Structure 1
Amino acid sequence: MNRLRIGLVGTGPWATATHAPALARHPDIDLSGVWGRRPEAAATLASAHGTTAYADIDALFAASDAVAFAVPPDVQAPLATRAAAAGCHLLLDKPVATAPATARELARAVERAEVASVVFFTLRFATLSSAWLAEQSTVGGWYTGRADWYGSFYTPDGTAAFSSPWRASRGGLWDVGPHALSMLLPVLGDVSEVTAAPGPGDTAHLILRHTGGASSTAALSLTAPAKGSGLAVELRGDHGIAVLPPWEGADEAFDAAIDALLTAARTGTAHPCDARFGLRVTEILARAEERMRAA
């Protein structure tokens, strides 16, 4: 397998600013086409990158070896399940779904079709943050951690242009919660217990018990004041305190995610951030949502 034909599903801000440019410039990829729920937007995006706009999504799957998704999670999951059944490798966005049953169906479809899957958790693919995580996993001895992501999407100087109805309705728990879990689970282990409570705006506070005995917390929001926004990941243990360094941004990380999918497709070796891991993240966040509703 030399060059991989990758189709793009989605035409929104992330697809336009990040996904399509990265796929079009990658030296080992042919951008095989674009499909979107708005045909006119698909035509515009496809024209900008010299590829084909498809009116029939199954035709895009047939013309592709892999498919990248930049659509809301509960649109993504059933379409990705169809793409896997068509034999396409999957480059998924987080969360893979907001319903565990739907995420489970997707993970099973990937296994049945024996296709590769990579879920784009930004911090897991950015150079500095991924190297930091690998180092802390090797050190071990951590007994607690925290992952706080305070976004300010909806302030006057925020990034509301990259928001969407699903983000506005599901909030920080589902948008930045996957990022937090993607950093905590590889170091502290799977989650056995979840406690959660709502804070101001869409803020969610999580307390997690991990299977190895460690505990962690997460604070997640898209509605923080601009001057109170920021990202912090911290671990404490036998060797002291480890703090995540500043990260570089989504573009560089998405390039690395593409490379990871290519490697998984060519070698048949599952990536740690595959559809099965995406399912586990959905299960944990769904449990946290239940806890918040009961609070």
Structure 2
Amino acid sequence: MRIGLLGTGPWAGMAHAPALHEHAELEFVGVWGRRTEAAKELADRYGTRAYDEVDALFADVDAVAVALPPAVQAELAVRAARAGCHLLLDKPLATTVGQGRAVVDAASEAGVASVVFFTSRFLPETEAWIAEQAGVGGWFTAHAQWLGALFGGAGDSPFAHSPWRREKGALWDVGPHALSVLLPVLGDARRVAAAAPGPGDTVQLVLDHLDGASSTLTLSLSAPSAAAGAAVELRGEAGVSVLPESAEGAVAALVRAADALLSAARTGRPHPCDAAFGLRVTEILVEAQTLLDGAAG
């Protein structure tokens, strides 16, 4: 599969480009970015081509991987799908329901495959744990904590000055990770029962799930460095189960996400983390944001 990369920021350089370069079944055709010099620098690093025009890249590839802010991603994903490109997207899919639905509709109409890269979902330990706990069932409640120190630590992260993260905060940056783990185990969320702000950009949510369980989520990019980390705990008829840690990083996870896209493109069977799932996550985040905005007003 011939694939191109949209984006030249830290995430594109740290994760996407190396994953596309090392994947045995992908031909890394080129890079497009909103900053021409950055696209050339990244392309040169991996021995590929920098594109000045995004439509020219679409014409030369079978698929695109996107490492751009969600609002920009959604617009370009629609254009890529209409050009016949399969989609390897990042979370969140979009920041409005309309944008997300446009991506889903464009992919469906064009008959292209889509995979949204929720990092945890493509770690083998997490994948196995989700499958096991979903099979167990009988869960009563769950708690997920996704705490980053992006705004509360030393400030040396390359993502600390990301404009969209500064604007949207933890709800939109790490909230998708927590939801991507909880929903396949507890079932879809019937509603966001409560949403409350905490220190910095911290958000606490309560969800009611269709399978009868409730969950609470604590999300932050403002935690002290010593408090940062992710944890998920389930409690139910089978006792207590805790999400295992993984030793693997984002590049290995992205390689598996590319495997998933290849499989979906070849078989026509959608992956559980396709654009439709990404849209559902966006719908839940919008519902939570509406509650938070109402409380602030």
Under TM normalisation by the shorter chain, which class is it?
Answer: over 0.9
Compute the TM-score of the two structures, normalised by the length of structure 1: 0.97
Instruction: For 1:260 and 1:84, locate their aligned partners in 2 and report how far apart those are by CA, in whole Å.
Output: 17
Q: Which amino acid counterpart does residue 56 of structure 1 have in structure 2?
A: E
Alignment of 1:124-273 (within 5 A): 124-157=121-154, 160-163=157-160, 164-194=162-192, 195-247=194-246, 248-273=248-273
CA contact (8 A) 1:96 1:278 kept: yes
Q: How many residues align?
A: 292
Out of 21, 24, 45, the position equivalent to 1:24 is 21
Q: Secondary structure at the match of 2:151?
A: coil
The CA distance in 1 between the partners of 2:20 and 2:227, in whole Å, is 34
**1:36 and 2:43 aligned:** no
Does the 8 A contact of 2:153 with 2:224 survive in 1? Answer: no
Q: TM-score, normalised by structure 2?
A: 0.96
CA contact (8 A) 2:153 2:222 kept: no
DSSP-derived class of the 1:61 partner: helix
Point out 4+ residue stretches in structure 1 off by more than 3 angstroms.
155-159
- Deviation string, structure 1 residues 35-94 (Cα, Å, up to 9, x no partner): 000000001111111111111101100101000000000000010000000000000000
Please state how far the C-alpha of 1:209 moved relative to its aligned partner: 0.4
- Which of 87, 91, 96 is the equivalent residue of 1:90? 87
By how many angstroms is 1:286 displaced?
A: 0.5
Query: Counterpart amino acid of 2:116?
Result: V
C-alpha distance in structure 2 between counterparts of 1:204 and 1:35, whole Å: 34
User: Is contact 2:58-2:85 (8 Å) kept?
Assistant: yes
Q: Does 1:57 align with 2:62?
A: no
How far 1:159 moved relative to its partner? 5.4
How far apart, CA to CA, are the structure 2 residues paired with 1:87 and 1:114? 8
- The aligned residue for residue 282 of structure 2 is 282
Gaps spanning 5+ residues in structure 1: where?
Answer: none
**8 A contact 1:158–1:226 mirrored in 2:** no
| 1:213-237 CA distance string (max 9 Å, x none) | 1110100000111111111111111
Structure 2 residue matching 1:50: 3-state secondary structure: coil
Aligned to 1:171, the other structure's residue is in SS state: helix
- Aligned match of 2:4 in 7, 11, 28? 7
Between the aligned partners of 1:251 and 1:243, the Cα distance in structure 2 is: 24
Provide the alpha-carbon RMSD of the alignment.
1.0
Which residue of structure 1 aligns with residue 65 of structure 2?
Answer: 68
**Which secondary structure does the structure 2 equivalent of 1:53 belong to?**
strand
1:167-220 Cα deviation digits (max 9, x unpaired): 111100000000010011001111111121111100010000011211101000
Matched to 1:260, the amino acid is A
Question: Which stretches in structure 2 are left out of the alignment for 5+ residues?
Answer: none
Give the conservation status (yes or no) of the 8 Å contact 1:154–1:160: no
Pick one of 105, 111, 115 that aligns with 1:114.
Answer: 111
